[in-house]
Amino acid sequence: MLLTTILIFFIALLANLGDFFGTTFIGRPLVTGMLVGLVMGNLREGLMIGASLELVWMGLMGIGATIPPDVVSGGILGTAFALLMGKGIEVALTLALPIATLGVVIKNIFYVAITPALTHKADRYAEEGEITKAANMHIVAIFAKEITMSLFITISFYFGSSAISKILALIPQAFIDGMNVATGLIPAVGFAMLIGMTYSKKVAPFFFLGFVLAAYLKLPMLAVAIIGGICGIVMFIIFSEIDKNKTRVEVGSDEDF
């Protein structure tokens, strides 16, 4: 248990620091679920739970100053607790969103209690002419937040497994069954929100082409993706030729003058 807890801490730290190195998506449930499954000796189930939670989080995004539920804590702890108790995606989903909401609360506490102190310290360094130290306070703030969130995940995992088991024993089976049904509905809502943000007349034909290939021709996802890639390459070649011909025509018109 201790070794697993230590490995969970490193997974949480890696996931929380994912954006520190750019947009890596390491903190997404699809990745963290796989890593948690690998650590807990059930890679297949961890990957399946992570993929299902990924579909849930697809439609959750920060708009303006709003902060969505913390994807890292929800993904890691939801998967870990479900695997620890031998449960499936319905339990992971039941736990992930409340845990992720609690993760946002921890983040907000950090922003209110710790960030202002580090900001004032950076201001003092700037007033004293210590520009390098003032700039380094940004890095300190980032690492402090990520380590705090990683410790929250680790402590919750170590001390929360027995408490979570007791809580699950109190949850009616009908509610868990309802969450099992919601497992199939929530990803659809997430996809609908994504389509609502990206839908246009230009992408509509490809959306319906993929739907026909999957729903009526029963092609697997990989085959649909390959066909989509081929369509993209063909369109790139066509538009490249159009641009070349347009350039030749323009050059020819200039030579006539």
- Output 46 or 21, whichever has higher pLDDT: 46
Q: What whole-number distance in Å separates Cα of residue 26 and Cα of residue 32?
A: 7
**Which amino acid, one-letter code, is at 244?**
K
Do the beta carbons of residue 103 and residue 148 sit within 8 Å?
Answer: no
Residue 59 in tokens: 């439609």
pLDDT reading at 206 higher than 80: yes
Minimal CA–CA distance to 228: which of 246, 210, 216?
210
User: What's the rounded Cα separation, in Å, for the pair 79 and 66?
Assistant: 25
What's the mean per-residue pLDDT of the chain? 79
pLDDT at 64: 47
How much is the pLDDT for 63? 52
Rounded to whole angstroms, how far apart are CA atoms 256 and 50?
63
**pLDDT of 126-159, one tens digit each?**
888 888 888 888 888 888 888 888 888 888 888 7
How high is the pLDDT of residue 187? 58
Tokens of 210: 């993929």
pLDDT of res. 167: 59
The pTM assigned to this predicted structure is 0.62
CA-based nearest residue to 92, from 1, 17, 186, 155: 186
- Residue ranges per structural domain of the chain: 2-173
